[in-house]
Structure 1
Amino acid sequence: MPETPAKHPRIRSIEGYHEAYHLSIHHPEEFWASVAAPFTWRRKWDKVMSSDMASGHNTWFEGARLNITENCLDRHLASRGNKLALIYEPNDPKTRHLRLTYRELHQEVCKFANVLHNNGVEKGDRVCLYMPMIPQLAIAVLACARIGAVHSVIFAGFSATAIADRVNDAQATVVLTADGLNRGAKQIPVKRVVDEALETCSSVRRVIVVEHLGWPVHMEEGRDVWYHEEAADVPKTCPAEEMDAEDPLFILYTSGSTGKPKGVVHSTAGYMVWADYTFRNVFQVEENDVYWCTADVGWVTGHSYLLYGPLLAGSTSLMFEGIPTYPDAGRFWEVIDKHSVSIFYTAPTAIRSLMAAPLDNVLSYSLDSLRVLGSVGEPINEEAWYWYYQHVGKERCPVVDTWWQTETGGIMISAMAGITPSVPARAGLPLPGVLPVLLNQDGSEIEGNDQEGYLAIKQSWPGILRTTYGDHERARQTYFAPYPGYYFTGDGARRDENGLYRIIGRVDDVINVSGHRFGTAEIENAINQNPHVVESAVVGYPHDVKGQGIYAYVICHEGAVGKEADKVHIEASIIETIVAEIGKIAKPDKIQIVTGLPKTRSGKIMRRILRKVAEGETSSLGDTSTLLDPAVVDEIIAGKK
């Protein structure tokens, strides 16, 4: 009999949730064995799980052999071969959309996999992708997984320097890219950025270029090849490489509290089971749903809930190249009506930007096909939640406000659509397998409801990160050493009187801008490369659209700032430096040039004070008398932007 979604354990009631949750926490091996059973395995596991949270060593489905693309594609061919797998909606609404069935997607993945093989890519090789949101990006990711290459997608908005850092850290041998991309009204010369990056990347021996816009690009002889030429005569079948359960599937670079981005590694089997289980249950997916996650594949949300989760579940996933406000603020709603989208998953930043547009942009569309709404990337504020629920969901669609991280692989705390409580500004209850705790600063657990503390996870789950690429000690120090025995999320949280979790923001030096995390040190390192700059300090502050904005305090060389025109020139120069080092997505919203920073006598910058100033809460700065120069604070307050 063909595989059907009914064979995968599904939660259909609040009682079913409590039953599944209890089993997952008290008998995790029994629980996850039943969840994993329906997948296609070349060899079943010897042991479901092994965990040492203190060292950060976690394994799942040890001894099992599989290929994730056989579960995403091959096993659906008999029963869903003619079902739509992927709908591509281009940036320009006048450009024709593309639809690929599971059979067609399988063939395209096999063709791309054969091109990779022919260009020397082997099992275990790292392949970096810097591409637009086009079908070939999704196809290429799956092609890497099919032949056992480790994919590392880099958001096509990062600078050449940021690309080079990631390529060199992964020691990638092949880079996949395109001639260019359109994002809204902007045009980005993707291949040219890659060429600049690769000037300092000695490991790369091949660049495969997808023709997307027909732009002329430089092709370096012996290194660069066109995908369409390479794919002209390759077979439409490609055997899937047999992988070990713990073989790495992908590396995804994320910002941390130190300057160098860290490559979070997810392995094959655990990630697969977690992405599928969370996708099916959080969104309560049905066979005929058209599901749209607006995230870029360059972020983990695109990995787990645009690609892997939906395809593992045999769903139809929509991939969008554009932005919410192009050509106007009705684009999201036009696409929903056009493709009869039933599940819509987007970021609070997008919702807030659309709230600012006239309401007619939403009311002009029926949105009758919608039945579930989702939010991801940062906590959604109550005003945005109600606007989303009332005007997009017409007060009939449950809203799932999902909390998770790149490192968790998939959703950890969330309502399950129509099953568990969905309350504004609350992520909700933990999913089965997730044991969250609130900790005091000294690491002791805070019991009971109506409490606040540091959010940590006490028990391993299948999607937990395995390491940071090439440096497990960094993973241990970042996630497992702060509170031994726990995975430390870096977030503060509140557990309300009903046991629902509310995420209240970062407690470390990480800023969440539009759902994308940037380490303050990473941005400061970039600013400090500017020739005008002596030192800088960066903090986050509340931003109406982005959730958090970036506020930079900058000390310049003596004599650099004479008059106001100098300040304007230097601020523009600093922004140029950040764009060159990281990319436009890390541009500060405010730059304040100062003569000094609030430091302790030991030289530590008191970012708490700078954060309060940026937030406009100057009446609650606390005791500043212990600072090296307390007068600096008054000057900073006086010059606040």
Structure 2
Amino acid sequence: MSQDAGTDSGSDDTTGAAGDYRALVRSSLDDPEGFWGAAAQELTWIHPPKTVLKDRAPFYDWFPDGVLNVCYNALDRHVIDGRADQLALIYDSPVTGTQRSYTYAELLDEVARFAGVLRDLGVSKGDRVVVYLPMIPEAVITMLACARIGAVHSVVFGGFAPAELAARIEDAEPVVVVSASCGVEPTRVVEYKPMLDEALRRSSHQPQHCVIVQREQALAELGETDLEWSQLMRPGAIAPAECVKILATDPLYVLYTSGTTGKPKGIVRDSGGYAVALRWSMSNLYDVQPGETWFCGSDVGWVVGHSYIVYAPLLTGATTILYEGKPVGTPDAGAYWRLIQDYGAVAAFTAPTAIRAIKKVDPDAALLAGYDTSSLRTLFLAGERLDPDTWEWATQALGVPVVDNWWQTETGWPITINPVGITLLPIKPGSSGPATVGYDVQVLDPSGQPTEPGVEGAICIRQPLPPGTLPTLWRDDERYVSSYLSAFPGYYLTGDGGYVDEDGYVFVMGRTDDVLNVAGHRLSTGSLEEALAGHPSVAECAVIGIRDALKGQVPRALVVLKAGIQLDEAGTAALQAELVDRVRAEVGAVAALRQVDVVDGLPKTRSGKILRKTMRQIADGDEAVVPSTIEDVSVLDGLRGVLSGPDRSS
């Protein structure tokens, strides 16, 4: 793999590499059966598939006659093949001062025994298990134990409010819920058991049992149907469970994401297609090979945690780091660099928000100098748009390629990325890279016609989607079609807007409802935010479109300053004027940006997405929908007065 973090200027050798990769992507689209049939050979099958792709348009089945077990592929086969003593899972928890490691043999033992526990509690193939746990090893063990016996796990982010947890319990109808007495945050302990009890009180469905991991930071009072993890997992207390045979099309998990109707959408993940796609992606896209160590700074409650903390690294035979902490504050902005140093991670994956948080606290990367991060080959960022300023800061600080990638809960793995494990293509700041193998990405205008290069539109994917993507929604084929497939027949609607340039690089400019319409001119929030973020005083920013009687909408900017920058009233006014001028110079006068507010923080989901829609609703005086995934509601509360205050744009 080339280590040259080139820019879009290109060169003769990278032009050749780009052409080769385009040819590979084209082959995956022209002959999906051949491409993915070959990729499937990286797994161990009980009955290898004879059929690679079954067309039931608008539905598609990958490897429909194949039989395998995902847990066997993640653990057993590595133990059999000589990796028994290699580390599989490293648990690092600065919030509790705990570190613990599991070899492949040790993790297999834990998983097989807890799979036996679930089996003896009445969980069988096809049954659901809701997982409501913090970032502790028991979360990974439970997920893999479900996969071992063919149960369908549904992980709910630890600490979710009772109403949201209840909605997921009602929809999934679990036989067992696995939870903990508490989660540990940098400044507080969050008791989970009372929230679980309240969720069950609200739910019409009642699980047969709740298994509770007791943590010393806050012990839970157990009820009649509650069982304690440590008691169930006593040595010799349970016979371990063997792997069961699973059809490739059987669901591995259901992961809920927010829906426009208020009812969460249950994204279904199949077993075989997902395992094939993740195994292929780990080596070819992320350049992580068997035996290497990888750090993904996400949470198992999110799709990134499912795919790249748990399944992809273990299917590969790599070592994965499970981190119970934050990018800053546990104890400082050097936390990620310590993990890379201490465990020799060759690659890291986190959200741009995490890097912006580090940059805000440590703008000169002074803490990085205290750690040896020489093992790191690549930093991957995803979860929201990566602005060029954040990309440049991370690239300069780390001295390695910083690679954007774009995908969704629905797709399960990257739609676009620079394929580092195949070849490092020229990096174009602001782009998440070219389309990945298997994804026929098209930008469509409102009539459904492809746009010209550089022209924005709705980013769509021509069907069939590749393996690993959602085959449907949980028990709701009709909603799957209406939500994703009805806008442009034959295409999956991503809900994101952007454009593709002449080299095939995709530029995702934001959700389609983040597109501004200023006096008939369509502008993406991403282009305005890119201009603002380039100012040396700005740590992060957000642009929203607010209603205007004359122009339809006008943009309004909210900016957070870098740590240590203190401005008086005159200094703030000067900065606001500079930012307005930057947008005018880089985007054009048509952007009509007049109002810039300097704020202490931006409201975000726990996965780092900025709540632009919610802020826009407040500014417009509408009833604001605050998603259950909000990280800190006090940040939004602190902005209400700013957003609903007088318009100072005139």
TM-score calculated relative to the size of structure 1? 0.79
Question: Which residue is equivalent to 1:216?
Answer: 219
Alpha-carbon distance in 2 for matches of 1:168, 1:354: 39
Q: Structure 2: any 5+ residue segments left out of the alignment?
A: 1-15, 517-524, 526-554, 561-601, 603-607
Decide whether the 8 Å contact of 1:541 with 1:551 is kept in 2: no
Displacement of 1:278 in angstroms is 1.5
Aligned to 1:361: 367
Aligned to 1:37, the other structure's residue is in SS state: helix
Q: 1:31-46, aligned counterparts within 5 Å?
A: 31-46=35-50
Match of 2:298 among 287, 291, 295: 295
1:543-582 per-residue CA deviation (whole Å, 9 max, x = no partner) reads 656563441646999xxxxxxxxxxxxxxxx99x969x66
Q: Does 1:379 align with 2:441?
A: no
Distance in 1, matches of 2:349 and 2:618, equals 38
* TM superposition shift of 1:275: 1.4
TM-score by length of structure 2 reads: 0.78
Partner residue, 1:265: 268
What is the letter of the counterpart of residue 589 of structure 1? L
Aligned to 1:27: 31
What SS does structure 2 have at the residue aligned with 1:82? coil
Tell me: CA distance 1:214–1:555, structure 2 relative to 1, closer, same or farther (3 Å).
closer
Aligned residues: 541
Check whether the contact 1:175–1:204 (CA below 8 A) recurs between aligned residues. Answer: yes
List per-residue Cα deviations over 1:448-506 (Å, max 9, x = no partner): x3332110001321122111112111111111011110001000121123221111000
C-alpha deviations, 1:408-462, integer Å up to 9, x for none?
1111100022522322111111111111001001111224x33321100013211
CA distance in 2 between counterparts of 1:302 and 1:160 reads 22
Aligned residue among 183, 188, 191 for 1:189: 191
Corresponding position of 1:165? 167
Alignment of 1:523-542 (within 5 A): none
Q: Which amino acid aligns with 2:483?
A: T
SS in 2 for 1:302: helix
Residues 279/398 of structure 1: CA separation in 2 closer, same or farther (3 Å cut): same
Sequence identity of aligned pairs in percent? Answer: 35
Out of 73, 85, 101, which is 1:82 matched to? Answer: 85
What is aligned with 1:179? 181
- Distance change (3 Å), C-alpha of 1:542 and 1:243: farther
> What is residue 463 of structure 1 aligned with on the other side?
468
Q: How is 1:72-111 mapped onto 2 (pairs within 5 angstroms)?
A: 72-77=74-79, 78-92=81-95, 95-111=97-113
User: 1:350–1:129: structure 2 CA closer, same or farther, 3 Å change rule?
Assistant: same
Aligned to 1:487: 492
Contact 1:295 1:302 in 2 (8 A): yes
In the other structure, the counterpart of 1:567 is: none
Change (3 A) 1:248 1:474: same
Gaps of 5+ in 1: 1-11, 514-538, 558-573, 595-612, 615-634
1:531 aligned residue:
none
Q: What does residue range 31-430 of structure 1 map to in structure 2 within 5 Å?
A: 31-53=35-57, 55=58, 57-77=59-79, 78-92=81-95, 95-201=97-203, 202-213=205-216, 215-221=218-224, 223-232=225-234, 233-235=236-238, 237-325=240-328, 326-358=330-362, 359-391=365-397, 393-394=398-399, 397-417=400-420, 418-430=423-435
What code does the residue aligned with 1:129 have? V
State whether residues 250 and 265 of structure 1, in contact with CA within 8 Å, keep that contact through their aligned partners in structure 2.
Answer: yes
Q: Does the CA-based 8 Å contact 1:254-1:262 persist in structure 2?
A: yes
Summarize the Cα distance change of 1:151–1:467 in structure 2 as closer, same or farther, 3 Å threshold.
Answer: same
CA contact (8 A) 1:252 1:265 kept: yes
Q: How does 1:542-553 map to 2 (within 5 A)?
A: 548-549=610-611, 550-551=614-615, 553=617
Distance 1:493 1:347 in 2: 20
Q: Deviations over 1:167-212 (max 9, x none)?
A: 1011122110011111222211012211111112233121001123
Taking structure 1 as reference, are residues 543 and 294 closer, same or farther at Cα in structure 2, changes over 3 Å only?
farther
Match of 1:433 among 425, 434, 438: 438
* Cα distance in structure 2, aligned partners of 1:388 and 1:592: 29
| Cα pair 1:592 1:639 within 8 Å, conserved | no
Whether 1:474 aligns to 2:466 is no
Instruction: Work out whether residues 578 and 587 of structure 1, in 8 Å CA contact, stay in contact via their aligned partners in 2.
Output: no
CA RMSD in angstroms comes to 3.0
Map of 1:589 onto structure 2: 636
SS at match of 1:406: coil
Secondary structure class of the residue paired with 1:468: coil
Q: Which whole-Å CA distance do the structure 1 matches of 2:378 and 2:89 have between them?
A: 19
> Does the Cα contact within 8 Å between 1:455 and 1:490 map onto a contact in 2?
yes
The amino acid of 2:360's aligned partner reads: A
Cα distance in 2 between the residues matched to 1:311 and 1:370: 19
> In the TM superposition, what is the alpha-carbon distance from 1:235 to its structure 2 partner?
4.8
C-alpha separation in 1, matches of 2:636 and 2:114: 41
Aligned letter for 1:371?
A: R
For the 8 Å contact 2:405–2:417, the answer to whether it is kept is yes
